[in-house]
């Protein structure tokens, strides 16, 4: 009981420190607390270790050489301070699988949880490290070079980072949850697949706007203090939606493989 209380306080303090260090907005800190509590409920302290590995490493990479990412932030919808929608996009499905696992101890919910985190980690590493690439990335619809920060574009460095990000979560999962080789590889591959899906949806369906004032193509709904105009993509498909869908789809695919394998 005392241990549980200490851990709950630890989760709340962790979220509060995310707010203090400007990694999270107020709503983001609240959402992170909810995800943390859900993960603790479903997977105990080991689940929190894994969530911590994702949060600590993505915070590290987003702060790493952050001054050189300033121009990219102009293109993205949001900055490095994550609000509740970004937290839900990256951790919502993982929290959901945790709560289901609390009621039903089937292995598939653990796999879903791990693939969600592997996918989120893969995607975050890919964008944060990939944006440091010296060359501009290739846009997958045209295979032409486009500006860094364009959704649906890939680089060698970003792809390597994406593999490494998924690998880290799968190897920690192997160690904490005694996964065995097959499921470790499954989490690694489907975590990476989540990032591939993210790139595909980003290229084909994600919305893009243009600023009427300065002409920049951006994911922001306003720029230069005026509303931007949508030039492509679907209305509801913003970066948060893409992140949520890619992690969720990769998890569902991995769960199907797990069921078929039994
Ligand atoms: Zn502008």
Average pLDDT over residues 106-114: 97
Q: Give residue-wise pLDDT tens across range 119-131.
A: 999 999 999 999 8
Task: State the distance from the centre of ligand 1 to the C-alpha of 231, rounded, in angstroms.
Answer: 15
pLDDT at 242 over 90: yes
pLDDT at 167: 98
Q: How far is the CA of 228 from the centre of ligand 1 (A)?
A: 8
Query: What's the gap in Å between 223 CA and the centre of ligand 1?
Result: 4
Ligand 1 centroid to 93 CA: how many Å?
A: 34
pLDDT tens, position by position, 80-96: 788 999 999 999 999 99
Give the residue with greater pLDDT, 110 vs 72. Answer: 110
pLDDT of residue 1: 86
Distance in Å, CA 40 to ligand 1 centroid: 43
Least confident among 65-74, 131-140, 156-165, 196-205: 65-74
* pLDDT at residue 120, rounded to an integer: 96
Please give the average per-residue pLDDT across 181-203, as a whole number: 97
pTM: 0.92
> Looking at residue 27, what is its pLDDT?
96
Distance 213 CA to ligand 1 centre (A): 5
pLDDT tens, 41-84? 999 999 999 999 998 998 899 888 877 777 777 778 777 788 99
Q: What is the CA(153)–ligand 1 centre distance, in A?
A: 22
- Ligand 1 mean position, distance from CA 219 (Å): 12
Q: What is the pLDDT of residue 23?
A: 86
The set of residues, in sequence order, having a beta carbon less than 8 Å from that of 33 and lying 6+ positions away, is 11, 12, 15
User: How confident is the model at residue 59, as a pLDDT?
Assistant: 84
Q: How far is the CA of 149 from the centre of ligand 1 (A)?
A: 16
Ligand 1 centroid to residue 173 C-alpha, Å: 44
Distance 211 CA to ligand 1 centre (A): 5
Query: What is the whole-number distance in angstroms between the Cα of residue 215 and the centre of ligand 1?
Result: 6
From ligand 1's centre to the CA of 27, what distance in Å? 27
Q: At residue 249, does pLDDT exceed 90? A: yes
Distance 226 CA to ligand 1 centre (A): 8
Task: Express as a percent the part of the chain with pLDDT over 70.
Answer: 100
């Amino acid at each position: 009981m005392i241990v549980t209380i200490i851990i709950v306080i630890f989760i709340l303090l962790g979220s509060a420190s995310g707010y203090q260090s400007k990694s999270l907005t107020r709503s983001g800190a609240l959402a992170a607390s909810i995800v943390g509590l859900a993960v603790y409920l479903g997977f105990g302290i080991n689940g929190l270790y894994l969530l911590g590995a994702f949060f600590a490493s993505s915070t590290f990479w987003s702060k790493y050489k952050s001054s050189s990412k300033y121009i990219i932030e102009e293109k993205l919808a949001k900055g490095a301070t994550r609000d509740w929608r970004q937290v839900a996009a990256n951790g919502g499905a993982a929290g959901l699988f945790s709560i289901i696992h609390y009621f039903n101890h089937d292995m598939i919910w653990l796999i879903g949880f791990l693939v969600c985190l592997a996918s989120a980690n893969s995607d975050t590493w890919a964008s944060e490290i990939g944006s440091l690439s010296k060359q501009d990335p290739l846009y997958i619809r045209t295979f032409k070079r486009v500006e860094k920060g364009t959704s649906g574009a890939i680089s060698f460095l970003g792809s390597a980072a994406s593999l490494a990000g998924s690998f880290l979560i799968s190897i920690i999962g192997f160690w904490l949850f005694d996964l065995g080789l097959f499921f470790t590889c499954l989490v690694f591959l489907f975590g990476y697949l989540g990032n591939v899906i993210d790139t595909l949806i980003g290229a084909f369906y994600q919305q893009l706007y243009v600023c009427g004032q300065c002409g920049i193509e951006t994911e922001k709904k306003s720029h230069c203090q005026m509303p931007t105009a949508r030039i492509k993509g679907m209305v509801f498909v913003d970066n948060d939606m893409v992140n949520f869908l890619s992690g969720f789809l990769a998890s569902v695919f991995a769960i199907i493989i797990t069921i078929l394998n039994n």
